[in-house]
């Protein structure tokens, strides 16, 4: 049975390549009304035109040629069947479909999938199917895929409510979340593992819990609070309770932590890579055993901005201290475990 027949058997066909499990959720950088409006615009303009005109800040997030650079770490042969878990607008789904035989994109947000479906048609790609459903519950494709993509998704797994990212950050927001984030993340990875064939590969990308800049007080990108990723989980939850009225659930991992989590989820071997300046727009991806001494300074330093812009002395001093610490951490001491982002390749 091919994947399309399997999808017809377990879900409802919405249009052409788009199916639904009937449990639509919402996770998007756009608010719901913006998402609906964007899909409406696609009847009279291309996806690139619509994003350029109405959401230019998202153009690179969706279309940048930099985004799929990490996929080469998978050593694809071109004959793989892949699943992209949490595919959103297809930043990796589209480039992946150009590199392999078939891609199934799964996401809980129907509007994102409609956008991606249009994008695939514009690119002339007929090897993409899309499924709207909760990726935490999708364990139905046992031993089906050669490759699974989990790109910037694992840290959001403990969130159980709808997320409109623009209004996500805020004190005492009413949000649903898992009581045990670590367990929830592992259960999800076990399902991903089940869906892979023997010898199948997982591509997982996530921020490093011990990224050097987290120690320097830069806000955690998911909880929007300083230091929570580096603190012990219980202490981080106390801080989060004080600031947001809820525990810290968007757990990140260290290099050793992600290796351990993947092993406990069933993966037999794990390859680790360091990604600079992050995993979304990587400029350098280096094996975890490699050296950081040649890392370009512009990938680790804070930019000075406009030279004519007169900044207060304190800000200039803070930037110099920050850059000095980054130089010391990476270029002088070669502390790999403080790299900004992790790309892990897990083998079933």
- Please list the residues that pair with 51 across neighbouring strands: none
Contact between 87 and other proteins by CB under 8 A: the answer reads no
> With respect to other proteins, which residue has the nearer C-beta, 100 or 244?
100
Contact between 69 and other proteins by CB under 8 A: the answer reads yes
> With respect to other proteins, which residue has the nearer C-beta, 13 or 294?
294
Structure tokens at 122: 């514009």
Could you give the angle at the alpha carbon of 60 between the alpha carbons of 315 and 110, nearest 5°? 120
Contact between 334 and other proteins by CB under 8 A: the answer reads no
Contact between 286 and other proteins by CB under 8 A: the answer reads yes
Give the binding-site size for other proteins (rule: CB under 8 A).
29
Contact between 284 and other proteins by CB under 8 A: the answer reads yes
> With respect to other proteins, which residue has the nearer C-beta, 80 or 107?
80
Contact between 331 and other proteins by CB under 8 A: the answer reads no
The residue whose two tokens read 């690119």 is 123
Contact by Cβ (8 Å): 324, 300? no
> CA-to-CA distance for 150 and 8, rounded, in angstroms?
24
Least Å from the CB of residue 24 to other proteins: 30
Residue range at the interface with other proteins (CB under 8 A); choices 71-79, 81-89, 247-255, 308-316: 71-79
- Please list the residues that pair with 163 across neighbouring strands: 27
Contact between 56 and other proteins by CB under 8 A: the answer reads no
> With respect to other proteins, which residue has the nearer C-beta, 37 or 101?
101
> CA-to-CA distance for 279 and 205, rounded, in angstroms?
6
The binder of other proteins chosen from 95, 139, 182, 226 (CB under 8 A)? 95
User: Which 8-state DSSP code applies to residue 218?
Assistant: P
> CA-to-CA distance for 211 and 338, rounded, in angstroms?
4
Whether residue 213 is preceded by a cis peptide bond, meaning omega within 30 degrees of 0, is no
> CA-to-CA distance for 125 and 171, rounded, in angstroms?
43
Contacting residues toward other proteins, per CB under 8 A: 64-66, 68-70, 72-73, 75-76, 78, 94-95, 98-100, 123-125, 271, 281-287, 289-290
């Amino acid at each position: 049975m091919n994947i399309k027949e399997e999808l017809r058997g377990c879900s409802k066909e919405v249009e052409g390549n788009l199916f639904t499990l009937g449990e639509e959720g919402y996770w998007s950088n756009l608010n719901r009304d913006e998402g609906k409006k964007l899909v409406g615009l696609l009847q009279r303009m291309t996806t690139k035109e619509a994003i350029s005109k109405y959401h230019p800040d998202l153009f690179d997030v969706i279309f940048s040629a930099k985004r799929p650079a990490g996929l080469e770490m998978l050593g694809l042969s071109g004959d793989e069947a892949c699943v992209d878990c949490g595919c959103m607008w297809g930043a990796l789904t589209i480039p992946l479909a150009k590199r392999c035989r078939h891609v199934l994109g799964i996401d809980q947000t129907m509007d994102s999938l409609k956008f991606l479906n249009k994008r695939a048609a514009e690119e002339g790609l007929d090897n993409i199917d899309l499924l709207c459903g909760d990726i935490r519950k999708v364990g139905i494709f046992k031993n089906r895929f050669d490759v699974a993509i989990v790109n910037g998704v694992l840290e959001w797994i403990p969130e159980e409510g709808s997320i409109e990212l623009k209004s996500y950050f805020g004190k005492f927001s009413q949000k649903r979340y898992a009581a045990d984030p670590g367990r929830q993340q592992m259960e999800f990875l076990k399902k991903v593992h089940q869906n892979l064939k023997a010898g199948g590969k997982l591509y997982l990308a996530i921020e490093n819990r011990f990224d050097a800049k987290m120690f320097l007080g830069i806000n955690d990108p998911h909880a929007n609070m300083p230091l929570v990723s580096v603190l012990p989980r219980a202490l981080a939850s106390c801080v989060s309770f004080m600031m947001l009225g809820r525990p810290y659930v968007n757990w990140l991992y260290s290099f050793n932590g992600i290796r351990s989590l993947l092993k406990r989820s069933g993966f037999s071997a794990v390859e680790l890579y360091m990604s600079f300046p992050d995993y979304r727009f990587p400029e350098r991806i280096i094996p975890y055993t490699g050296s950081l001494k040649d890392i370009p300074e512009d990938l680790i330093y804070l930019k000075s901005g406009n030279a004519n812009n007169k900044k207060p002395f304190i800000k200039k001093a803070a930037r110099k201290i920050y850059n000095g610490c980054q130089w010391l951490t990476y270029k002088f001491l070669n502390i790999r475990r403080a790299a900004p982002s992790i790309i892990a390749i897990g083998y079933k």
